[in-house]
Amino acid sequence: MRFAVEVLVTLKPGLADPQGRAVESALPALGWTNVSAVRVGKHVRLELETGSERDAREQVAQMNDRLLSNPVIEDARILEVRGIVEADR
């Protein structure tokens, strides 16, 4: 079976997020003076071929730990696992 998986990688809470801060400090210039607590993360989407949804989750969790994120500074969360039917593609 083929699965589409979406992963969200974010800097751990409390860790300085220079990118988020840059966005936050640019928004007032566009008129948004009411924004705070901006954090910028990374969205990963991938497809994989495997036997079951559970198996897909397990494999992606391993990818998260070993490559997609650095567990020292980032959290990686699986947002969605969806089975793909060929007609969808």
Partner 1 sequence: MSARIGVVTFPGSLDDRDAVRAVELMGGEGVPLWHGEADLRGVDGVILPGGFSYGDYLRCGAIARFAPLMEEVVGFARRGGPVLGICNGFQILCESGLLPGALIRNRSLRFVCRVVHVRVETTQSPITADVVPGEVLEVPIKHGEGQFVAAEDELDRLETEGRVVFRYCGPDGEIGDAYNPNGSQRGIAGIGNEGGNVVGLMPHPEHAVDPDVGPTGGQALFASLLSQVLAGVP
Contacts of 29 (CB under 8 A, 6+ apart): none
Under the binding rule (CB under 8 A), the answer on residue 19 touching partner 1 is: yes
Interface residue with partner 1, options 26, 46, 73, 79 (CB under 8 A): 73
> Which one of the spans 12-20, 30-38, 50-58, 79-87 is the region binding partner 1 (CB under 8 A)?
12-20
Phi, psi of 68 (to 5 degrees): -70, -25
Under the binding rule (CB under 8 A), the answer on residue 18 touching partner 1 is: yes
Residue 11 Cβ, how far from partner 1 at the closest point, in Å?
A: 8
Phi, psi of 75 (to 5 degrees): -110, 140
15: three-class secondary structure by DSSP: coil
Query: With respect to partner 1, which residue has the nearer C-beta, 1 or 22?
Result: 22
Interface residue with partner 1, options 29, 72, 85, 87 (CB under 8 A): 72
Under the binding rule (CB under 8 A), the answer on residue 70 touching partner 1 is: yes
Residues 48, 3: contact at Cβ < 8 Å? yes
The residue assigned the tokens 């497809």 is 47
